[in-house]
Amino acid sequence: MDSKNKVEVIIDGLPYKLVGVESEEYIQKIANYIDRKFKDISSTQGGSALDKKTLAVLVSVNVTDALFKTYEEKQSQAKELEAVKKE
């Protein structure tokens, strides 16, 4: 069984203890990415007036959008590779 790392991170100015089997550096990297997303959305026009829940939902939508686009790109590349192999 992998040992779990407990890492204290700051996201949107609030401390969180995250636990995972990934390295402390990786967990911190993920937290920093989410924190930057909060800052990016908050810094847009009117973003600073959003309540925390709405801001969290918008961050979730943005991160999920990036994930889906990456997944779709990977699938497209896999199909292209298969086509090239068949040629």
Number of domains in the chain: 1
| pTM higher than the cut 0.75 | yes
Structure tokens at 35: 């924190």
Cα within 13 Å of Cα(87), Cβ side: 6
| Range(s) of the domain holding residue 66 | 5-86
Q: How far apart are CA 26 and CA 50, in angstroms?
A: 29
Q: What do you get for the CA distance between the two ends of the chain, in Å? A: 44
H-only helix segments in 1-87: 24-43, 52-86
Predicted pLDDT of residue 87: 81
Predicted pLDDT of residue 45: 64
